[in-house]
Amino acid sequence: MMPKIHATTVLGIIHNGQVALGADGQATMGDTIAKGNVKKVRKLSDGKIIAGFAGSTSDAFSLIEKFEEKLNMYRTNLRRAAIELAKDWRTDRYLRKLEAMLIVMDKDEGLIVSGTGDVLSPEDQIISIGSGSNYAKAAAVALKRHAPHLTAEEMVREALTVAADICIYTNHNFEILTLDPS
């Protein structure tokens, strides 16, 4: 049996009307780096929504496709689409086996969607998933408090750098997407 591909750091920040979501590019199989430039963040709904994933890559792609279907069904209503995906994920026999988590964001909020039926919205507008998420979140909290002049994109980059310096499952090959504030 092949070891599962896993581990990453995905971080989203809403700050001063700006929205940024970034991830590293590392995928591992067991204790080996399988690939260093995986694209784990995507723009959806004509660039109005950004999404990122942690976990099994193929599972995450399936979930993003399902999430896009929900976005189309609910006219890009982020919260409603996330809740409906979480309901399906928890109750559908096929989806229940998928091993991934999603962060989805629009200009107003960010949500974590999990296979246990959770749809979580952070109080501090900092959202993270993956093996290095606690390191990235801690760095982002400090940056928001002590360097509020930085943009959301700069905060995401700096916080991911901290995570990559600490977490062995996170590399420095970042992709960061932003949303237009309009």
> Does residue 128 contact residue 11 with C-beta atoms inside 8 Å?
yes
Within a domain: 182: no
Task: List pLDDT tens digits, range 161-179.
Answer: 999 999 999 999 999 999 9
Within a domain: 139: yes
Is the pLDDT confidence value at 3 over 60?
no
The domain in which residue 69 lies consists of 5-173
Domains: count for the chain = 1
Residue 165: CATH number of its domain: 3.60.20.10
Among 8, 9, 28, 170, the active-site one is: 8
The predicted pLDDT at position 93 comes to 73
Within a domain: 181: no
Alpha-carbon gap, residue 149 to 175, rounded angstroms:
22
Report the pLDDT averaged over residues 58-69.
Answer: 89
> Of the spans 3-7, 43-47, 113-117, 177-181, which averages the highest pLDDT?
43-47
Is the pLDDT confidence value at 4 over 50?
no
8 catalytic, yes or no? yes
The predicted pLDDT at position 2 comes to 38
Is the pLDDT confidence value at 5 over 50?
no
Question: What DSSP line would sit under 43-95, residue for residue?
Answer: EEGGGTEEEEEEE-HHHHHHHHHHHHHHHHHTTT-HHHHHHHHHHHHHH-HHH
